[in-house]
Amino acid sequence: MSVLIVGSMAVDTVEFAGTGESFEWAAGSAVFASLAASFFGTPRVVGVVGDDFPKSMMDALRERGAELDGVEIVEGGRTFRWHGRYAPDLASRESLATHLNVFETFSPKIPASFKDSRYLLLGNIHPALQHAVLDQVSGSELVAADTMNFWIHGERERLNALLPKIDLLIINEDESRDLSGERYISRIGKALLSMGPKRVIVKQGEYGAYLFDEHGLFHAPAYPVATVVDPTGAGDSFAGTLMGYLDAQPTLDRSALRRAVVMGSAAASLCVEKYGAKGLLETTRDEIVTRAREFASLVSTD
């Protein structure tokens, strides 16, 4: 049982205009998603780093049971670096500098030992790389993919060709509007399903998430956190936890997927309450499960 996760591994420098604080830390979609997947399942990580990537994060991943054979370490190379600044209300951020470094020539190589992975999560990377991963893996019970506006506008054909090959598209609400051309959630879901993926999850941030599948619609509210410190990685925490939870279930049925959405929402809420990956590094499976249980009471009319 395992979840193959392919995505970015980065060193971010993040400034918070609201508090004036600034941090440098390990980040990236594969890092957040793998930490998150480790609460319930076994992540198998595929990515690329330079020799400047923090050893502490590699250790943290390994301690949590992540298999790291797919992490290529380029000696003398520098890790993908992003420098950005969050607005005081954390609702937007600007990129101050992006250095792709070793990520520029990243060509995902799936180790032979990873090819039987039960689940596959294609992080938000170039659609051509997502295709390249799919070409190397077959027999996964569920292939999930994330994407973003940058690829929706810049690599639309490759993205359109990917959608019929995946079982679950996980996408932000803004991006879902861009990709579908629709404004309202029920039409967004139908339009995206008609583009090929078997299921679609639209993430609405603090307003929760919608799942569209063959059983209809499911909605999970976001866990009502008292404060948000850093929204970075919330989406990857959601996707990683969802996949890890599915990895721990005997069968992938309607209820398992719906519960996985709730677990993902719970983990995302714990992620945003602390800086960087701290929210994930300092929480436990029990804490996620406890929050997930509160969802039942939150939506119960009894």
93 binds its own copies (CB under 8 A): no
Q: Does 58 bind its own copies (CB under 8 A)?
A: no
If one asks whether residue 181 binds its own copies (CB under 8 A), the answer comes out as no
Site stretch for its own copies (CB under 8 A), options 30-38, 122-130, 223-231, 242-250? 223-231
Which residue, 60 or 260, is less far from its own copies as judged by CB? 260
Asked if 145 and 162 count as a contact pair (C-beta separation under 8 A), the reply is: yes
264 near its own copies, rule: CB under 8 A: no
Backbone angles phi, psi at 119, to 5 degrees: -125, 155
Cβ proximity to its own copies: between 149 and 204 the closer is 204
Q: Which of 107, 224, 250, 251 binds its own copies (CB under 8 A)?
A: 224
298 lines the binding site for its own copies (CB under 8 A): yes
Site for its own copies in 182-201 (CB under 8 A): 183-187, 189
Does position 206 bind its own copies by CB under 8 A?
A: yes
How far apart are alpha carbons 20 and 249 in whole angstroms?
Answer: 43
Interaction of residue 255 with its own copies, rule CB under 8 A? yes
Q: Give the nearer residue to its own copies in terms of CB position, either 1 or 298.
A: 298
249 binds its own copies (CB under 8 A): no
Q: Does residue 251 bind its own copies (CB under 8 A)?
A: no
In the bound state with its own copies, the residue whose beta carbon lies nearer, of 100 and 228, is: 228
Residue 238, phi then psi, degrees to nearest 5: -60, -55
Q: Which range of residues in 28-36, 71-79, 257-265, 279-287 is near its own copies by CB under 8 A?
A: 257-265
Nearer to its own copies by C-beta: 128 or 185? 185
Among 1, 87, 96, 217, binds its own copies (CB under 8 A): 217
Per-residue H/E/C for the chain: CCEEEECCCEEEEEEECCCCEEEEEEECHHHHHHHHHCCCCCEEEEEEEECCCCHHHHHHHHHCCCEEEEEEEECCCCCEEEEEEECCCCCCEEEEEEECHHHHHCCCCCCHHHCCCCEEEECCCCHHHHHHHHHHCCCCCEEEEECCHHHHHHCHHHHHHHHHHCCEEEEEHHHHHHHHCCCCHHHHHHHHHHCCCCEEEEECHHHCEEEEECCEEEEECCCCCCCCCCCCCHHHHHHHHHHHHHHCCCCCCHHHHHHHHHHHHHHHHHHHCCCCCHHHHCCCHHHHHHHHHHHHHHCCCC
Whole-angstrom distance, CA of residue 95 vs CA of residue 133: 28
Number of residues in contact with its own copies, rule: CB under 8 A?
36
Residue number, 128 or 256, with CB nearest to its own copies? 256
Under the binding rule (CB under 8 A), the answer on residue 216 touching its own copies is: yes
User: Nearest distance from residue 172's CB to its own copies, in Å?
Assistant: 14
Q: Which is nearer to its own copies, 39 or 80 (CB)?
A: 39
> Binding its own copies by CB under 8 A: which of 129, 161, 191, 228?
228
CB burial string 271-284: b at 16+ within 10 A, e below: bbbebbbbbbeebe
Q: CB 237 → its own copies: shortest distance, Å?
A: 18
Binding residues for its own copies, rule: CB under 8 A, are 89, 183-187, 189, 204, 206-208, 210, 216-221, 224-228, 254-255, 258-259, 262, 295-302
